[in-house]
Amino acid sequence: MPSNCRRAVPSQLRNPLGGWCAAPGAQQSGVILAFDFGTRRIGVAGGEMMLGNARPLATIVTEVNDLRFAAIAKLIGDWQPNRLLVGLPLGLDGRDHDMTARCRRFARQLAGRYGLPVELVDERLTSVAADEQLRGQGLDWRARKDAVDATAAAHILQDYFDRHGQTTLRS
């Protein structure tokens, strides 16, 4: 088992949404990748914890799991993150719905395949916020459709940074 596998890292705690997260005082630097999971597309965003600035990276467009995980493995190899986030879709009332279990399963698969800590993050309304952001940039519906998942993943990651008090340095 890799030394950074979730069972071997004592600085991790179970998060209330069902993922793994760093304990207080754990490492506060390094890259995080965030995923907006969907059955047809997975949006991916990245950011550095010290900067606290998330940005959309890619949208994986395939329903074939082997291809999905090959693309994710390439991103992990390129970015060398020390943690992963998965957006957890909940109803507006906070209850699970049909996609919630699928996202939890996806998070477990990421943890098992890559031996990295994985945290589930409430993603309510991130796709709506992403679409509004892209509409505000003047993108037509086709361009928004192509960019909304990665932008939603960036919103998930930025919300995480904001909640954890990471400094955002934006120009």
pLDDT tens, position by position, 112-141: 999 999 999 888 666 666 656 666 767 676
The answer for residues whose C-beta is within 8 angstroms of residue 109's C-beta and 6 or more apart is: 69
CATH domain 12-163 topology: Nucleotidyltransferase; domain 5 (3.30.420)
Above 50 in pLDDT, residue 2?
no
Quick one: which H or E segment has residue 14? strand 12-14
CA distance 45 to 28: 18
pLDDT of 145: 67
Give residue limits of the domains in the chain: 12-163
CB 37 within 8 A of CB 68: no
Using the 8-state DSSP alphabet, how is residue 125 labeled?
A: T
Tracing tokens 């993050």 back to the chain, one arrives at 121
> At 50, is the pLDDT very low, low, confident or very high (cuts 50, 70, 90)?
confident
pLDDT in tens, 161-170: 988 765 444 4
Lowest average pLDDT, out of 8-17, 51-60, 115-124, 130-139, goes to 8-17
6, pLDDT greater than 50: no
pLDDT at 90 over 90: no
Is the pLDDT assigned to residue 94 strictly greater than 90?
no
Asked if the model's pLDDT at residue 83 lies above 80, the reply is yes
Q: How confident is the model at residue 149 (pLDDT cuts 50, 70, 90)?
A: confident
Question: What pLDDT sits at residue 138?
Answer: 73
Q: Which residues of 55-73 are buried (b: 16+ CB within 10 A; e: fewer)?
A: ebbbbbeeeeeeebbebbe
Task: Please give the residue that has the higher pLDDT: either 22 or 156.
Answer: 156
Spatial contact of 34 and 54, defined as CB atoms under 8 Å apart:
yes
